[in-house]
Homo-oligomer: A and B are copies of this chain.
């Protein structure tokens, strides 16, 4: 199974000024592609930290996706961090420079041209839905942090990483609490090792007490685990099955 990690970059997130909106979007994209997101790390705008994290994550996962730090100001350190992680210099991408010159025309500044910086050897991934390309260095995708733009890049990821088997997700909602259902749950977990089973106490306002989730790549196995669990409950304890 293909694996991925996310690196979310930005002082504004760790200081509580704004909440990250991008991780759940990326997670949904990867899930639909059958790529398992196994780790996400959030760090400050510090070059050495970003470089070390990219190096470690890129070595341990099939794909890495970064969010944030790709603008032209002093706190935008992702391009340089990725370059340092791979031991290459930062260069200007001619295609991106041309796009910037066309877009800004007479208003163009040296600051604007900094947005054409890429790690040497990076490739540009473009598509119909996103005018500005995504920059990809080996297995590391550098995505912008602004949520609207981050979302617009998802179609590029979907196009490039397509072809996998998507995950199957089923669920049982029950009125039992986790302490009550644990013996039944443990038996099903032990008998269905290929299925990832999760247990979540209800969020407020729900009509159930616990949601049990059943996830995997083979639908028949996921279905068997879900059904075995549902059949082990008293019928009146089941709110619904999905």
Chain A residues at the B interface, C-beta cutoff of 8 Å: 11-21, 23-31, 37-45, 71-76, 104, 107-115, 146-148, 167, 169, 177-183, 185-186, 189, 196-201, 203-204, 213, 215
Cβ-defined partner of A213 (8 Å) among B17, B20, B147, B203:
B17
Q: At the interface, is chain A mostly helix, strand, loop or mixed?
A: mixed
Bound complex: CA A148 to CA B147 (Å): 25
A111, B75: Cβ atoms closer than 8 Å? no
**What is the CA–CA distance of A30 and B186 in the complex, to the nearest angstrom?**
37
Contact of A19 among B23, B39, B179 (CB under 8 A): B23
Give every chain B residue within 8 A of A167 (Cβ-Cβ): 15
**A23-B42, A72-B179, A73-B178 known; A31 vs B15 contact (CB < 8 Å):** yes
Q: Which of B15, B44, B197 contacts A74 (CB 8 A)?
A: B197
Contact: B73 with A185, CB < 8 Å?
A: yes
> How many copies, total?
2
Question: Apart from A17-B169, A110-B182, what 15 extra A-B contacts exist at CB < 8 Å?
Answer: A12-B200, A13-B27, A14-B37, A15-B37, A15-B215, A16-B31, A20-B24, A23-B42, A38-B43, A72-B179, A73-B182, A75-B197, A111-B179, A114-B182, A147-B203
When distances are taken between beta carbons in the complex, the residues of chain B under 8 Å from A189 are 74
Neighbouring B residues of A177 by C-beta, 8 Å? 112
Residue of B nearest to A16 (CB): B27
A-B contact pairs, 10 of them (CB 8 A): A11-B196, A11-B198, A12-B213, A15-B215, A17-B169, A23-B42, A39-B43, A73-B178, A110-B182, A114-B182
